[in-house]
Structure 1
């Protein structure tokens, strides 16, 4: 459902249940808003008694709201609440008020209940649950009866929460999975601009004017992509960023990346000013949330970078605790979300553990957790595996060494870390999220007017990632593109190749990639192979030609079809259309362009009875 947030308050009367409580001499109104349906965004808001709170460090450190939501089976989740000023700060820019909010994304039908716990005291927000004092206020009630969801794709409410699999077969655990549909996920989308949220229409209490890479976004080229009825704030604000999201959806991308605390662009941050990292900018964060809602409704995973190379050590642990809690409380409910502890983390592996642990302890939704390194520092992943860090994956920066050959099975290789995480009994979800060098990325020039890309993007990043068993690719725009991208059309060739691979080939041919593992050992040296042994073999020929496939342990007949990764389209016949098990078999040659890259799909034929 598209919502104009300017009229949100007036809609409460239509969408909300009002429950009146009286205690300690104060009348308490708890408002439940949103559609009471499975996976929908159900908002609980209420006003604390007494004087208004304001945007001060005391408000964010010494006042804490937790909401315990109980599902129909009696299980409870503890969700952090957050200060929301007057409750409509996105439109009013309010900095004071008594409203707190919390979000529920119900995963079951039936009656849900809530218990609002308000705590006050010095640094109460920093405390573990078992350290908390007695709550100052304790409010209980019913959320209401949650009904079956009625949304349709691309809205992620139709698919449910995207989750890491904590148990089960190693093959399955390499991929995130939607809770409602059981669909496994391969991500594709832009990794740039990382300063996506440095957008002109957001509220900014402070601006760093002397920052070389502080490039304010307007997204004017995407004004034509805005659709009437898309959400805005303060009347007409937000139209162009909504248009940019619509464009990406039209390109059939499913992931988008952004920093929440910029290292290069000093104007991306959640606080009112960088001088005090305990005071959060309520109105700006409410405006961010309007954009993030639109992103979710258009079917995207949110890749949040919590820090970068330039600021990974800029916060004390106490500042990190408050920062992470605020981000989890306000944004952690989104149904497809990836927390990245830091882009290009420069600290020791051990120094990241308290941050990872804290995030894992406060996120009620247990979203995907990753970390990112420099291309020459992937050895840190060895340490995180040894330390059994509470990570669920790795955000890999693919190296340009030897024209990106290393990105497959070298020190920074996708296959390398899939195998190592399996060996450590911690199966990670691993994706190529950035491709160096920092100047150009995968493009041929750092000039953002140049949209031509290196052929290795298709051959050695996209297809080699997928054949390794990787979870997808996000495309880096280079040093200028990472801050000055206004028109996502620059990525169109990368988007097209990604669609051919993930949508046309894998999904279009109903390939159960989650049942496969890398089996390069089954093919000759000129090829790479992803296989569900005895059923499906996907062979990638980077330089064309042919290959032999070892079917010595198999029986029956297998069909041989060819897919063109350069131009997409339907499967084609090559010079050989079927092979039999029982030995090493040639797969023949492509139908045309035999020196170009091809994908060969070999599947077991069903014997009719």
Structure 2
């Protein structure tokens, strides 16, 4: 991954397409481009608030394509290393999605609360800037950005490959990390019986996983969290979940502001350090799952409305981090009505958030909703939003992890029938106090059950994957996790499932066909007449009805526990027989893959 910074001077730059001569591209397609714009000298705590009363917008053009991207106050070059809180630097970050000659025009304007004014002509112009750069072909192996052009899956724009998530949901307060500037816990009160922790994260168990060239800051800070991300990537994890605002929540140690009581000023060096971590995860192909608030604080900003506080918060997140290749904006952990808190965001307030991102995020990143578990909560929260096209999917929490197949299939069907299909991922698997057990919890470890009935249950229903939650009462739990190796086994068998789907199935063309197994305990996922996948969670022989098709099918087997290649037993079945029996080649859960003989 290349990251390119282009420095501009305060003079007005002029550009004439006909006189440009290039010997090589400035950047590759999808590279991160950071443009520096000198402006007025100011500071994070200036009386004339630079976050509120200044607005930088940058319009990029290539041919007939154009997009306007929000900029941000960056203080000074290298603020992640210096910790500077004053300076005259504004920046914009962008990833060009086309080859060719690009131009940009930028305007820095000043006005009271100008960030909220949608009129591009509003405010007093402080500086104007222009420039150009040439974008060459994508680098070898570049996948591009995740886009939504399928009802059930995201897809990498450059490679065309579809995305299945096998991620981690814990610790939710990932960014409550000791090496980030101005990071502290504002209260040490925790709810009785739930997750608690002492001090900030150090992730010292992963300092040995750090590598030369990792983007540390301040002479080597950040090795714990960067090393942890290296380890997760090696173990097969491709998505990380984290809160960006947990004031008054469970961890009480993550916010983008200069302190936990502030709502209109941002700690620029801390956010620059966050960006180092996000850049690193992005370079390893990981999804960045931004969870915008918690159930305890979803009405902290503007009483739940998308008013001046929330709009500023969202604009800063989009401007600083929205450019990454794989971004999920999650409305909030356990968002919406519940039976124990004093306030929550209403359906109308949820729609305000969804609509804000649809209008103001120029990258068109994926937006999801996470709620409390159970059918009562699903009905109360999901049903009013059925048919909402701007909501990309559901970030499901399941109190009963073994209901994954039925719940995934039901909400895929209901959203499709409402005219706006939702992508279904499982992003918190309960019960809340347990989640997925550590590897060391054997022999009562629940991992085999969660693999068979939750991960594979979701995938076999047309779901798009899982992030694993570490229960409130487990070692290395949702707040105090320091060593991700506590669930090493689970990451690896999750990655086995994902790679099997990627390597052997046209899964984006397949549909759940459980009725063909004649069983309540076996699942079928099929492209009718071509490919059938039958999953046997309990390892018992299964029956598959092939009477709707013709021809002979080769049968091979996949071991979900160990991964690896397919086991070819040389078995063939004839669709003319109607019901065919599938007998697994060993104990434990197995997946049977049936493919039509070539030429038929």
What is the match of residue 476 of structure 1? Answer: 469
Contact 1:84 1:100 in 2 (8 A): yes
SS in structure 2 at match of 1:79: strand
The runs of 5 or more residues in structure 1 that have no matched partner are: 4-11, 24-33, 153-157, 166-171
In 2 relative to 1, CA 381–475 (structure 1 residues): closer, same or farther, beyond 3 Å? same
SS in structure 1 at match of 2:313: helix
Contact 1:79 1:364 in 2 (8 A): yes
| Matched ranges for 1:185-584 at <5 A | 185-204=163-182, 207-212=185-190, 213=196, 215-262=199-246, 263-316=249-302, 317-346=307-336, 347-376=345-374, 377-386=377-386, 388=388, 390-400=390-400, 404-409=401-406, 413-443=407-437, 452-479=445-472, 481-503=477-499, 505-509=500-504, 511-525=505-519, 526-573=521-568, 577-582=571-576, 584=578
**Deviation at residue 2 of structure 1 after TM alignment:** 8.0
**Deviation at residue 428 of structure 1 after TM alignment:** 1.3
Rounded to whole Å, the distance in 2 between the matches of 1:150 and 1:407 is 38
| Residue 100 of structure 2 corresponds to residue 127 of structure 1 | no
**Deviation at residue 280 of structure 1 after TM alignment:** 0.7
Paired residues in the alignment total 562
What is the match of residue 29 of structure 1? Answer: none
**Deviation at residue 219 of structure 1 after TM alignment:** 0.8
Rounded to whole Å, the distance in 1 between the matches of 2:444 and 2:221 is 29
What is the match of residue 28 of structure 1? Answer: none
Rounded to whole Å, the distance in 1 between the matches of 2:322 and 2:444 is 34
SS in structure 1 at match of 2:472: helix
What is the match of residue 603 of structure 1? Answer: 595
For normalisation by structure 2, the TM-score amounts to 0.89
Contact 1:385 1:426 in 2 (8 A): no
Contact 1:69 1:76 in 2 (8 A): yes
Rounded to whole Å, the distance in 2 between the matches of 1:127 and 1:587 is 66
**Deviation at residue 553 of structure 1 after TM alignment:** 2.5
**Deviation at residue 601 of structure 1 after TM alignment:** 0.4
SS in structure 1 at match of 2:226: helix
| Residue 146 of structure 2 corresponds to residue 162 of structure 1 | yes
What is the match of residue 77 of structure 1? Answer: 67
SS in structure 1 at match of 2:233: helix
SS in structure 2 at match of 1:250: helix
**Deviation at residue 556 of structure 1 after TM alignment:** 1.4
Rounded to whole Å, the distance in 2 between the matches of 1:251 and 1:266 is 29
**Deviation at residue 392 of structure 1 after TM alignment:** 0.4
SS in structure 2 at match of 1:592: coil
The runs of 5 or more residues in structure 2 that have no matched partner are: 14-24, 191-195, 337-344
Contact 1:579 1:585 in 2 (8 A): no
SS in structure 1 at match of 2:128: strand
In 2 relative to 1, CA 260–508 (structure 1 residues): closer, same or farther, beyond 3 Å? same
**RMSD, matched Cα:** 2.4
What is the match of residue 581 of structure 2? Answer: 587
For normalisation by structure 1, the TM-score amounts to 0.87
**Deviation at residue 587 of structure 1 after TM alignment:** 3.0
Rounded to whole Å, the distance in 2 between the matches of 1:532 and 1:203 is 52
What is the match of residue 114 of structure 1? Answer: 104
**Deviation at residue 535 of structure 1 after TM alignment:** 0.8
Q: Deviations over 1:164-201 (max 9, x none)?
A: 11xxxxxx321000000101000102110011111111
Between 313-322 and 51-60, report the one with greater CA deviation: 51-60
SS in structure 2 at match of 1:136: strand
In 2 relative to 1, CA 530–273 (structure 1 residues): closer, same or farther, beyond 3 Å? same
Contact 1:111 1:142 in 2 (8 A): no
Contact 1:190 1:257 in 2 (8 A): yes
**Deviation at residue 149 of structure 1 after TM alignment:** 2.4
What is the match of residue 144 of structure 1? Answer: 133
Q: Deviations over 1:445-475 (max 9, x none)?
A: 9x99999434321111111010001001110
